[in-house]
Chains A and B, each alone.
Chain A
Amino acid sequence: MKKTLLIIATMVLTVSAWAQFTVQGTVVDQTGEPVIGATVVVPGTTIGTVTDFDGNFTLETSADAQITVSYVGYKPQTLAVVQQMHIVLSEDAEVLEDVVVIGYGVAKKNDMTGSVTALKPDEKNRGMVTSAQDMIQGKIAGVNVSSSSGEPGAGAQIRIRGGASLNASNDPLIVIDGMPMDASGTSGTSNPLALVNPNDIESFTVLKDASATAIYGSRGSNGVIIITTKKGAKNQKPKVSYNGSFSLSTIANKLDVLSADEYRDYIKTTYGENSAAFKGLGEFNTDWQKEIYRVGLNHDHNVSLSGGLSNKTVSMPYRVSLGYTGQQGILKGSDYRRFTGGFSLNPSFLKDHLTFNINGKYAWSHTNRGGQDAIDAAFSMDPTRPVTSDDPAFENWGGYWQWIQPTTVYDPTYPYERNGEGSANPMELIAHYPNDMSANVLIGNIEIDYKIHGFEDLRLHANFAGDYNMGGEFVNKSPQSTYGYYYGGKGESKTTKYSLLATAYAQYYKDFNENHHFDVMAGYEYSKNRWEGNSWNEDYYPLTAVGTDDDGNPLAGTTHYASTSHWRGQTILVSWFGRANYTLFNRYMLTATVRADGSSRFAKGHRWGVFPSAAFAWRISDEPWMADVKEISDFKLRLGWGQTGQQDTGKEYYTPIYQTTTQLDRLYPLGPDNDGTLYRPLVYNEDLTWETTSTWNLGIDFGIFQQRLTLNLDMYKRNTTNLLCTPTIPAGMNYDNKMLLNAGELENMGIELAIVGRPVQTKDWFFELGINGAYNHNVVKELYGGRDMIEAGMTVGMQKNVTYHKVGQPANSFWVYQQVYDENGRPVQGLYVDRNGDGNIDDNDRYFYKSIAAPWTGGGFFKLSYKNWDLGANFRFSIGNYVYNNIVQSRMNTEVLYNPSKGTYSNSTREIIALGWTSYEYPLSDYFVQNASFFKCDNITAGYNFEHAGKTDKYEGISGRVYLSCSNVFTITKYKGIDPEQAGGIEGSVYPRSRTYLVGLNLNF
């Protein structure tokens, strides 16, 4: 990298010598096909041209000049001129692959010893991209990204190699321009990635194995994703680009509930035409799901300006970008708007001895989550009722029809209240949704890199980064709404959070001779994460209120209820780290790293952890005896071992403490001088410490035919010990029945394979095909206190634990009863297989049946281009993941479709009604644990690229691209619920993922 910079700098100096000289040349690609329209310029001058239809060009310049040849998708080349030139451009992908950003530094791809995948966002083959996570979904073997829902601005669950923990966080560490982000996000937004404009991302580096992540120590167990943002380039003319899109989102899959007529028929057949049940039905036909959903309109605009200023000693690349995203959710009333702005400056001084990397990013987002309770309500709401009604009884809900009952609790203006046992009117929930969320985020860093004058082998590096964010939620409940009936109410909740990071390291390079390269790095890091928040809520007696308080004062207009709360927390991590690399003969590479972390989450004596790693790589293809095997362009073997930790326990301190009452409505005043504040001794564990994961990784990188076919294979074994988990503990031993402790051992073994092939690569045609797949086997080896199983956290029905961690089984396995089916294949209510044959059905008849996590996952893509046209698609699969279908379970009792006890009706699906169960008592049946393997087409995109639009003598014209795309195209699955992709392994009534049709435009001026 540095070398290239030097060349460019030298070039600047040489331009001054000037003599006329004609250059004729041809530009071809690696296959020998001419490259049409490639740009040929003399850097630092205004001299330039483009290649013609046969890839030829002619240029007048001075004899000692150099030219730079560039073309979109290819690696630019700078060459000294000769009269006849034949220039072969190679593909751009290699540019990225050359140098990869790793933890605390960069490494040449060739020299990497760990399992590291670098990914440059694919600008062409992509669908709707709102967040950075959308760009890596399905792209990397062993990395699973699953958006949490279809809500605009929603977060995602990212798992690298299946996650190493049971109860501690399994989220990978995300590092943006050197700043490790706090996984908990900001109030007012969903996750830290949601606030980085994806158009600003230059590259992702995913560190998967411990030899690569151990440098992140106690935060490295679940992998690391390093995001680098785009920068300007030296000596580049100001370049303006625009990326924009317009899209429509529609509902992909609804729940198939009964229509109004079907519902009437059902009631008629079940209860009879003369029954109270039938007579009590409404006469309307309302499709509630149709009412609540809409076609969402989205648009997205991004403008960037980049370039580089320079003179003899100082250069200053820059990039400035602005972005705006506006999304309407498919649920009426939900929307998301985001504005982002960012800049990066990379000045260098003193002949590149002193370089700076200064980044600043700002994001503002506004989310209106919409009345999401309407989604569940629309499944259940009686379809024979109208959306609105003129009946004065509904006046107090703004005319929205509701299940109501007379009341005297309020005042004569409010003679009815909602019967809370029936569904609220979904449209009322949407119309009167009171919340508004917004967030402001500022992230910045200054990196300083200094090569010591006269001792250039030593480099000092410092990074100061900060992240400040402020998010809030505002509530304004109408007295005419389900959410704030009668008393109305206002409230606000705000959190301010900041993170500070200071890193300093020194790196020493030494090439002893051609065959021995050595470098060592040592550093220190301090990071602090602090947050603070306030909230208040108030509601009021309306002016119509007639009552009096205990002292006889009228209540009308007074505050009925008020509360405030305040919270604050921090975590601090202090670290030392180092890395040494040794390369012999350019083909044997050794890397060792170590990091020591001290975490404020643990008590003295349990606080510091040391995380070492070592790795070895062998570039077999560079062996002299391989020189003759021309077909093999790359063959490398990697072996690594390392230890990493996990300290994100969800708790920020370790001390034995009391929790105090913060709300003024839950007091228990008792005796003199006692205002009723309560203290609760909290469960605590002073012996708590981080969990440790040891990983072995064996990898093979293989490429043939000049990398037209590449293959990456990784095998790993990870053992996590001292697992942080929260099992049930004996009652009375501490202050809770569950406690966070270090317990047990978990093993993950897996294999990952990624293959990319470019079978067709001609002048007009290009075809690339990639597939990646991963297998991960996860098994619990040991648990706390000699026990062999603990609850894993998913509860169903009335808080029945259904998932367990059991020794010998995968984590999060379902422990269920085996359902008995009738001759028609329908599950018989309450009938389970007596597996132990003792004549009783009890816990001893439960068995382990499947688990949440998919053992097999992967993705694939293809890209096809013909001249200026291109077509691409991305796919993703997951095999063997099981989902608990809670949509069905929570509606299993068909008797309550008509519920006179509570005075309500509710809707259901044909399937559930056909089963005819009359109870919710059997949620532990394996019937509800359903195979949710899926194959999804995430997007299909077709585009047309153009150049030189509006070209004049002086202006090269506009280049760009127009494209059409469809996201969430189709899903193939046997799963019986709405969407098999459920990160938590249970499907309730979540905001459905939409199908999006998009038209986009990129312009480069």
Chain B
Amino acid sequence: MKKLSIIVLSAVMLTACMYDLDNGNIDPSATIQPNVNALYSKCYASLILEGMDGSSDFSTDDAGKSTFLRNLFNANELSTDEAICWWTDGGLGDYGINRPTPSSDAIRYLYYRMIINVSYCNHFLSLEEAQDDKVKIAEVRLIRAYLYYQLLDLFGNPPFITEISNEMPKQAHTFNTAYDASKTYSRAELMSMGRNFLFHWIESELKTAEADLMEAQPKTDADVNYGRVDKAAAWLLLSRLYLNAGTYLNDDGQNNPYWQEALDYSEMVIKSPYKLFTEAEQHSEAKMWDFTPYDMLFCGDNGSNGASVEAIFPLKQDGKVTRAWGGTMFFIAAMWNSDMLTAYGMYAGTSSIGWAGMRARPQLAEKFSSTPDVFVGKSAEDNRLLLEVNPATRDDRAIFWGEGHTLSCLPNDAQGFFHGLAIPKWSNQYTTDKTPHDGEYVDVDFFLLRTAEAYLNAAEAALHTGDAGKAKTYVDAVRQRAHAAVKASYDLDDVLDERAREFYFECLRRPDLIRNNKFGGLSVSYGWEGKGGSETYSGAPFEKYYNVYPIPSTEMMANTNLIQNDGYTEIQ
């Protein structure tokens, strides 16, 4: 009897279990069914969040360091006359002395972050279920083009991937029709071919996307479409691409056949419903608390206080529902310490304020005052008052905390936070009496693209096309919003300085300097404290090949198709 039951039981089990082998996945947080909305949101979210539920989107052991914005800041600000960081970890020091290496951790995070984001876009664009919504497809195309724009700008000749496959990705230069695989090229030639290919590909992608995007229309965070890109984003990116075309096509920012296009596309933005956020749009409570319009772009409630009229591409943050360590929290935590207050006399509005790493180099303060020493020893509020006294010196954008700090940003050691002025530009304060959603995670949205850039792009391009009057109109508009006195006329250096004043710490500085031939190159005379690792006030020039970053060594080891960027050591 027992024997029989064993046999019967075994027979039943046998059938059941062979079928069981197909049912390994019962994980409730994993599914094989795609969700168009969720995959679409992912393409946006990965520009500011670490990943899912706070974990990193790619294999790394510090999710907080994996975010796009934080890495873009490190790459585009720490290497310039605007910012420096004393933290001795992860390649930040290498950025600061303009000696990036393939083994830099910071460069690795930057690289993998952008490529994983490209992969999410590639996946979405290949998804059958997603094809019906042309607008979303166009948005994701724009995001991918933006990512390739940054890859072009930062790495010159990165691998180029538009679909996920088992093929080992190939570098951009191999897609250039001029490339002949049977020939040998110098690394500089490959770089040039790769940049050329990417430039034209990005241009065409943005133009294709533009047709299907939503009409240009600013929104507040009460609008469900807040955070989505529309036609204005495509225009502004095209304007940025054309403005820098000289760098990408001729390795000389001033040798640019596209100035007119740069002007045209920025003017499309200027003429759109997107505006500069000015005093006229400020609500009364904000004025009562001494918020300037410029301050309100970087506040906890910038999605709702009116400032988002300028937000062409806002990346969302919310202390309750959209938390991240390396989004705007980074722009507060890393730049503050616990002694500081904003220029309008308030605390940061978040408990994450102690990382105390990033400060300004003295050249940034120089953009606001010919005697930048005046900022030393004073609070940000006092410095604002100091400039406000005289209409000729007034500028709302000069947000410098000087108490306990020196003007010089050196030595860049453990006491480094006090060497160089601190920048409490971002804060989680609300301009109303509402309470931030959390004591730590911030509500500040990051305006990745904002209207002011269109004004200054247009001004710069207009100077090149010979329309100085137009340039003055646009620069004046930006200065007037900041209550800064206008000048009779502006030259290229003025526009470059104006970009520093308007966009400092907003991840734009490195390409601006490169375009104006004031970054890499042994004959470049423009310098800043610590440049090229020289501990002098105006630093020392460095090789031009540092204008693009090296491909990380981990990637070089993994992808045997790749050739390291010109100038950098290859692993033997």
- List residues of A whose CB falls within 8 A of some B CB: 354, 405-410, 417, 419-421, 448, 450, 460, 462, 486-487, 502, 504, 524, 526, 528, 530, 547-550, 555, 560-561, 565-572, 574, 598-601, 604, 607, 652-674, 676-682, 726-738, 785-787, 789-791, 795, 797-801, 836, 840, 842-844, 893, 895-896, 899-903, 918-921
A391 to chain B, nearest CB (A): 17
Known interface pairs A555-B435, A786-B560; A671-B225 also in contact (CB < 8 Å) = yes
In the assembled complex, the Cα of A661 lies from the Cα of B337 at a distance in Å of 33
The reply to whether A737 and B112 form a contact with Cβ atoms under 8 Å apart is yes
Chain A residue with the shortest CB-CB distance to B413: A895
Q: Which residues 67-96 in B have Cβ within 8 Å of A in the complex?
A: 86, 88-91, 93
Alpha-carbon gap, A801 to B38, bound state (A): 34
C-alpha gap A844/B564 in the complex (Å): 14
Q: Which residue of A lies closest to B562 (CB)?
A: A730
Which B residues form the contact surface with A (CB < 8 A)?
A: 2-3, 6, 9-10, 13-14, 17-18, 20-35, 37-42, 44-45, 49, 51-54, 57-62, 65, 86, 88-91, 93, 101-103, 105, 111-112, 115-116, 118-120, 122-123, 136, 159, 161, 164-169, 224-225, 227-228, 316, 320-324, 337-339, 346-347, 349-357, 413-418, 433-441, 553-555, 557-561, 569, 571-572
Assess A668 versus B316: contact at CB under 8 Å? Given A681-B120, A732-B119, A902-B354: yes
30 contacts between A and B (CB under 8 A): A409-B349, A409-B440, A504-B6, A524-B14, A526-B14, A548-B433, A561-B438, A570-B26, A574-B18, A598-B18, A600-B22, A604-B22, A658-B34, A667-B322, A668-B44, A670-B37, A677-B41, A679-B34, A679-B38, A730-B558, A731-B111, A735-B123, A786-B560, A787-B557, A790-B557, A799-B61, A843-B102, A901-B86, A902-B417, A921-B89
**In the complex the two chains form, what is the Cα distance from A504 to B5 in whole Å?**
12
Query: Which residues of the other chain, B, contact A560 by a CB distance below 8 angstroms?
Result: 438
Question: B residues within 8 A CB of A801?
Answer: 554
Q: Which residue of the partner chain B has the closest CB to A840?
A: B569
The residues of B that contact A671 with a CB separation of less than 8 Å are 37, 40, 136, 224-225, 228
Distance (whole angstroms) from the CB of B29 to the closest CB of chain A? 5
Our count of residue pairs bridging A and B at CB distance below 8 angstroms stands at 355
Smallest beta-carbon distance B283→chain A, Å: 16
Minimum Cβ distance to chain B for residue A125 (Å): 43
Q: Which residue of B lies closest to A657 (CB)?
A: B30
User: B21: shortest Cβ distance to chain A, in Å?
Assistant: 5
A contact patch SS? loop
Find out whether the CB atom of B354 lies under 8 angstroms from the CB atom of A421: yes
Q: Could you say which residues of chain B place their CB within 8 Å of the CB of A599?
A: 21
Given contacts A661-B52, A737-B59, contact A902 B20 (CB under 8 A): no
Q: Are B168 and A601 in contact (CB under 8 A)?
A: no
In the complex the two chains form, is A526's CB within 8 Å of B101's CB?
Answer: no
Is the CB–CB distance between B18 and A737 below 8 Å? Answer: no
The answer to whether B37 and A732 touch across the interface, beta carbons within 8 angstroms, is: no
Q: Are B323 and A524 in contact (CB under 8 A)?
A: no
Contact B557 A652 (CB under 8 A): no
- Please pick, from A550, A663, A795, A918, the residue contacting B53 in the complex, using a CB distance under 8 A: A663
Whether B161 and A732, one on each chain, are in contact in the complex, defined by CB atoms closer than 8 angstroms, is yes
Docked complex Cα distance between A569 and B35 (Å):
22
User: Does B29 contact A662, Cβ atoms closer than 8 Å?
Assistant: yes
Residue in contact with B49 in the complex, picked from A526, A668, A670, CB distance below 8 Å: A668
Q: A598-B18, A844-B569 given. 14 additional CB < 8 A pairs? A: A408-B347, A410-B439, A419-B354, A572-B17, A666-B49, A671-B40, A674-B38, A679-B39, A728-B554, A733-B164, A735-B116, A736-B59, A896-B414, A900-B418
User: Chain B residues with Cβ under 8 A from A732's Cβ?
Assistant: 115, 118-119, 122, 159, 161, 164, 169
Decide if B323 touches A895 in the complex (CB within 8 Å).
Answer: no
Collect the chain B residues with CB atoms within 8 Å of residue A410's CB: 439
How far does the Cβ of B239 sit from chain A's closest Cβ, in whole Å? 25
Smallest CB-CB A-B distances: 6 pairs: A547-B435, A901-B417, A405-B338, A730-B559, A653-B24, A668-B45
Q: How far does the alpha carbon of A475 sit from the alpha carbon of B571 in the complex, in Å?
A: 49
Q: Which residue of chain B has the shortest Cβ distance to A679 in the bound complex?
A: B38
Q: Most A CB atoms within 10 A — which of B20, B41, B119?
A: B41
Q: What CA separation (Å) do A677 and B37 show in the bound complex?
A: 8
How far, in angstroms, from A728 to B23 measured CA to CA in the complex? 29
Give the residues in chain A near B3, CB-CB below 8 Å.
Answer: 450, 460
Q: Which of A406, A571, A673, A903 has the most CB of B within 10 A?
A: A903
Q: Which of A421, A526, A571, A661 is B24 in contact with, Cβ under 8 Å?
A: A571
CA distance A524 to B123 in the complex (A): 43
Cβ-defined contact, A657 with B89, below 8 A: no
**Which of A560, A561, A664, A843 has its CB near the most chain B CB atoms (within 10 A)?**
A843
Contact A733 B166 (CB under 8 A): yes
| Interchain CB contact under 8 A, A727 and B558 | yes
Residues in B whose Cβ lies below 8 Å from that of A604: 22
* Alpha-carbon separation in the docked complex, A565 to B93 (Å): 40
Cα of A568 to Cα of B116 in the assembled complex, Å: 27
B115 touches A567 (CB 8 A): no
Cα(A561)–Cα(B558), bound, Å: 42
Name which residue of chain A comes closest to B26, CB basis: A568
The interface residues of chain B lying within 8 Å CB-to-CB of A655 are: 24-25, 32
Q: How far does the alpha carbon of A599 sit from the alpha carbon of B18 in the complex, in Å?
A: 10
Across-interface contacts of A733 in B (CB, < 8 A): 161, 164-169
Interface-centre pick from A565, A668, A726 (highest chain B CB count, 10 A)? A668
Contact call B116/A677, Cβ cutoff below 8 A:
no
* Chain B, Cβ-Cβ closest to A462: B6
Instruction: State which of A409, A678, A893 has its C-beta within 8 Å of the C-beta of B52.
Output: A678
Look across to chain B and name the residue whose beta carbon is closest to the beta carbon of A405: B338
Q: Is the CB of A528 within 8 A of B20?
A: yes
Are A893's CB and B560's CB within 8 A?
no
Q: Which residues of A contact B352 (CB under 8 A)?
A: 420
Q: Is the CB of A450 within 8 A of B2?
A: yes
What B residues does A524 contact at CB under 8 A?
A: 10, 14
B324's nearest neighbour on chain A, judged by CB, is A666
Contact of B28 among A448, A567, A840 (CB under 8 A): A567
Do B417 and A409 touch across chains, with their CB atoms under 8 A apart?
A: no
B163 to A, closest residue via Cβ = A732
On whether the beta carbons of B569 and A842 are closer than 8 Å, the reply is yes
